[in-house]
Structure 1
Amino acid sequence: RVPVMTEVAARQALLHFVASQCCYGSRAAGELVIRRLRHLRMYRYRLETFSESRLSEWAFEPFTKPGAANPPGDPPLDLWDMEVGVPPLFQGQTRRCRVPRSAQVRDCHRCHGHGRSKCRVCHGAGRTRCVTCKGSRWRLKQQKRCQLCSGTGRKRCNTCSGRGSKTCATCQGEKKLQHFKQLVVTWKNNVFEFISEHQLNFPGELLSKVSGENIFKDENVVVYPIIDFPDSEISLASQRAIAEHSTAFATSSRILWQRQTVELIPITEVHYQYSGKPYLYYIYGLENKVYVLDYPERCCCSCTIV
């Protein structure tokens, strides 16, 4: 069970919080007088649905093995008939693998089946403008014919070695490509979270960042809504979450496993007095995090995070 917050623990939690803030003084935390501790409890419901979805996409590679194409009339496997190992539960992952019997051999679309493509530097000419004479054929300062290009104003293209074309980067000179279907399997952990309502001057989103005591856990291929929970909001949240996940994932993917939990998150409302004035702060979560509404010893300064 969650230990009951005492005045000593409440003061230590505040001192630890103040020490982490550059603009908060520690004297007030040490000298304040705690007047009242109000113990509260919040429930956090979470539904996790581990789903698997499959789709296919076309990919290609240079065709280097003539005679390895599929025999005619051999249909590819259905996506859901392929055996793919499932990762650990509730751990998202994406995996790609080739669909058997889906290969098709075609001419390379980049070089049109020639195995070579026009050089982009010389545009197929095999020669480029001389960088020394800028194509003028003369060394202007020396009034001599350019020796680098022998007075032609052009020189052999270094990119294609003067051939005007390069080995096609798409088919790597093989002239043909093997197109095939690629199975894309995505495992995803879909989470629904609900925290019971409260009437505190406290940001509810902070509770999603702390842990609580697990008081209920149920997991199976399909879980059923929680019934007659002491807080009716949790029962309603369970019904809504399971219905939403069933609608969202049962048609577009496959539900592999579900897990629903209820956590008890402790919150302590600390009323204290300092210099004759009343103040308030909250301690929440098993980590004893602190949220301060208006700390009495605080200065505004330009803080630099080192």
Structure 2
Amino acid sequence: MENNPLLSIPSISEDTARDALVQYASSKCCYSTDPAEQLVFSNLEAHNTYRYRLETFTESRSTEWTHEAYSGQPVDAYTQPPPAPWVIPAKAPTMFEDATQEIKIPNTASVKPCHTCTGTGKTPCTKCTGCGSKQCWVCNGSGVRAGDESCHHCKGTGRTNCDDCKGTGLNSCDTCEGKGQLLVYIKLKIKWKNNVDDFVGDQQSGFPISRVSAVTGEKVFVDTQYMVYPAVGFPDPAISQAAERLVRQHHAQFAPTCRILQQRQTIELIPITKASYSFQEKQYTYFVYGAEHKVYTEDYPAKCCCCTII
């Protein structure tokens, strides 16, 4: 690892490290920027590492029965055998971008009575449970008001017509949209998915490697093919081993159930600098990482709890 020329890239400058910490403190409502502005650096140490990423772009297909309200659409069931799912043409989206598509499979559409309303196009009103009326809200169903006066709102009956079904007790069926019939057919569901796995070399610097997923670095190797061959002979043997393992793992995981359309493997150099400094005669450390110069620290010296959550 010591002989690796890419990992020997020097750490960032003191000005860059200081600016990153000032911005970090400014983003925290309870942090003072004084330590970041007044600190004295004692050491800036590079712990740059690599991230290997394998992307496998796959296409999967499944079928299911579905239905929609029938209003004169073509009916083609039993005219000839329906095509197999993988025979149906579909245009793939941009590579390495997730997408979905649904296609009506030819020669599967037939018309059937609606199963919800049994072909009537009507279902009992849920507001009045199908009786067409509900209790009068003025007299609470008694038919009279104070002083034994007949309720004028319900004309003394204690009930009023249901506003939802207009007193009929029935509403248009939602399933068939009141048509009474359904077009039933088989639907093809196509899913394009970019399956991504990362490996990051740990430099044992005390920096939590999981945070690298939120930043970018400098691409030092990019390979895009139908099926990539693992990157071998890389200066960091851990990256070569990860590449071989992930390529084998992706093939075993996706090839049996999906169609692999393309693969891409990338190696990025992720800059990580460990900054040691003193403030008010005490020693502290923090990390500046990624091309975005994000900051990670556990012992920033000027925190307070003066913020009030409203």
Partner SS state of residue 111, structure 1 = coil
Q: Deviations over 1:130-182 (max 9, x none)?
A: 44444434x23242344444444444444333434333232233222111111
Matched residue, 1:289 = 294
Once the two structures are superposed, the pairs formed by residues 48-59 of structure 1 within 5 Å of their partners are 48-59=55-66
Matched residue, 1:94 = 100
- Would you say how many aligned residue pairs link Structure 1 and Structure 2? 303
Matched residue, 1:225 = 230
Change (3 A) 1:71 1:292: closer
Change (3 A) 1:270 1:59: same
Partner SS state of residue 237, structure 1 = helix
Matched residue, 1:206 = 211
Deviation of 1:235 (Å): 0.7
Say yes or no: does 1:5 pair with 2:20: no
Matched residue, 2:42 = 35
Matched residue, 1:81 = 87
Deviation of 1:98 (Å): 1.4
CA distance in 1, matches of 2:32, 2:176: 69
CA contact (8 A) 2:231 2:240 kept: yes
CA distance in 2, matches of 1:277, 1:168: 75
Deviation of 1:276 (Å): 4.3
Deviation of 1:3 (Å): 7.2
CA contact (8 A) 2:31 2:304 kept: no
| Root mean square deviation of aligned Cα | 2.7
CA distance in 2, matches of 1:208, 1:71: 50
Stretch moving more, 278-287 or 75-84:
278-287
Partner SS state of residue 169, structure 1 = coil
Q: Deviations over 1:96-149 (max 9, x none)?
A: 221111112211111112222233344444444444444434x23242344444
Partner SS state of residue 271, structure 2 = strand
CA distance in 1, matches of 2:168, 2:220: 75
Partner SS state of residue 186, structure 1 = strand
Say yes or no: does 1:15 pair with 2:22: yes
CA distance in 2, matches of 1:159, 1:190: 49
Change (3 A) 1:305 1:259: farther
CA distance in 1, matches of 2:303, 2:135: 69
CA contact (8 A) 2:47 2:203 kept: no
Q: Work out which of the residue numbers 110, 116, 129 in structure 1 matches 2:116.
A: 110
AA partner of residue 59 (structure 2): E
Q: Work out which of the residue numbers 234, 249, 252 in structure 1 matches 2:254.
A: 249
Q: Work out which of the residue numbers 282, 300, 306 in structure 1 matches 2:304.
A: 300
Deviation of 1:239 (Å): 1.0
Deviation of 1:4 (Å): 5.2
CA contact (8 A) 2:217 2:290 kept: yes
Q: Deviations over 1:34-86 (max 9, x none)?
A: 333322320000001111111122221122228x4225352222111111221
CA distance in 2, matches of 1:122, 1:6: 75
Change (3 A) 1:30 1:149: closer
TM-score (norm 2): 0.86
Deviation of 1:92 (Å): 0.9
Structure 1 unmatched runs, 5+: none
Change (3 A) 1:7 1:70: closer
Stretch moving more, 88-97 or 283-292:
283-292
Identity over aligned pairs, percent: 41
TM-score (norm 1): 0.87
Partner SS state of residue 52, structure 2 = strand
Deviation of 1:193 (Å): 0.4
Structure 2 unmatched runs, 5+: 1-5
